[in-house]
Amino acid sequence: MKWISREDMEKKQEASAAEIKEALDFCAGQVTAGLDLFTWEFPMAYSENGFYKAMDNRDWTTGFWTGEIWLAYEHTRDRRLLEAGEIQMESFLKRIEEQRDVETHDLGFLYSLSCVAGYKLTGSILGRRAALLAADKLITRFHEKGNFIQAWGELGAPDNYRLIIDCLLNLPLLYWASEETGRAIYREIAQKHTRTTLDHVIRPDYSTWHTFFFNQDTGEADHGATSQGCRDGSAWARGQAWGIYGTAIGYRYTKREEYISVFKGVADYYLRHLPEDLVPFWDLEFGDGDQEPRDSSSASIAACGMLLMAEYLAAEEAGYYTGAAKKMLKSLIDNYRVKSREESNGLVLHSTYCNSSPYNTCIEKGVDQCNIWGDYFYMEALTRLSREWEMYW
Which residues are designated catalytic? Answer: 106, 166
The Cα-based distances of 109 to 126, 195, 374 in angstroms read 18, 20, 13
What residues between 335 and 364 interact with ligand GLY by CB under 6 A? 353
DSSP 60-111: S-HHHHHHHHHHHHHHH--HHHHHHHHHHHHHHHHHHHTT-S--STTHHHHH
Q: Tell me which DSSP letter residue 210 carries.
A: S
For the bound state, the minimum distance from the C-beta of residue 363 to ligand GLY, rounded and expressed in Å, comes to 12
Q: For residues 211 and 150, is the Cβ–Cβ distance under 8 A?
A: no
CB 305 within 8 A of CB 257: no
* 210 lies in the site for ligand GLY, by CB under 6 A: no
- Residue (146 or 239) nearer to ligand GLY, CB: 239
C-alpha 301/C-alpha 226 separation (Å) is 19
Q: Residue count at the site for ligand GLY (CB under 6 A)?
A: 4
User: Dihedral of CA 5/10/11/17: which sign?
Assistant: positive
The CB-of-366 to ligand GLY minimum distance in angstroms stands at 9
Verify binding: residue 238, ligand GLY, rule CB under 6 A. yes
Closer residue to ligand GLY, CB minimum distance, 32 or 240? 240
Closest residue to ligand GLY: CB criterion: 166
| DSSP string computed for 145-175 | TTTEE--SSSTT-GGG-EEEGGGGGTTHHHH
Contact 198, 262 (CB under 8 A): yes
Measure the CA–CA gap between 342 and 186, rounded to whole angstroms.
Answer: 45
Rank residues 30 and 211 by Cβ distance to ligand GLY and give the closer one. Answer: 211
Cβ at position 279, least distance to ligand GLY in Å: 16
> Which lies closer to ligand GLY via its Cβ, residue 74 or residue 166?
166
Question: Is 166 one of the binding residues for ligand GLY (CB under 6 A)?
Answer: yes
> Length of the chain, please?
393
Which of 277, 299, 306 is CA-nearest to residue 352? 299
User: Which is closer to ligand GLY, CB of 73 or CB of 392?
Assistant: 392
Q: Which residue, 229 or 265, has its beta carbon nearer to ligand GLY?
A: 229
- Nearest CA to 324 among 67, 68, 28, 4? 4
* DSSP conformation letters of 353-390: EE---TT--PPPEEEEE-BHHHHHHHHHHHHHHHS---
CB of 151 to ligand GLY, least distance (A): 9
Q: What is the CA radius of gyration of the chain?
A: 19
Is there a contact between 98 and 109 (Cβ–Cβ < 8 Å)? no
Cβ-based nearer residue to ligand GLY, 146 or 366: 366
Residue 105 or 330: the one with the smaller Cβ distance to ligand GLY is: 105
CA distances for 265 relative to 8, 205, 207, angstroms: 20, 8, 8
- Exposure pattern of 182-201 as b/e (b: 16+ CB <10 Å)? eeeebbebbbbbbebbbebb
Residue 283 Cβ vs ligand GLY, minimum distance, rounded to whole Å: 13
> Nearest distance from residue 319's CB to ligand GLY, in Å?
29
Q: Which residues bind ligand GLY (CB under 6 A)?
A: 166, 228, 238, 353
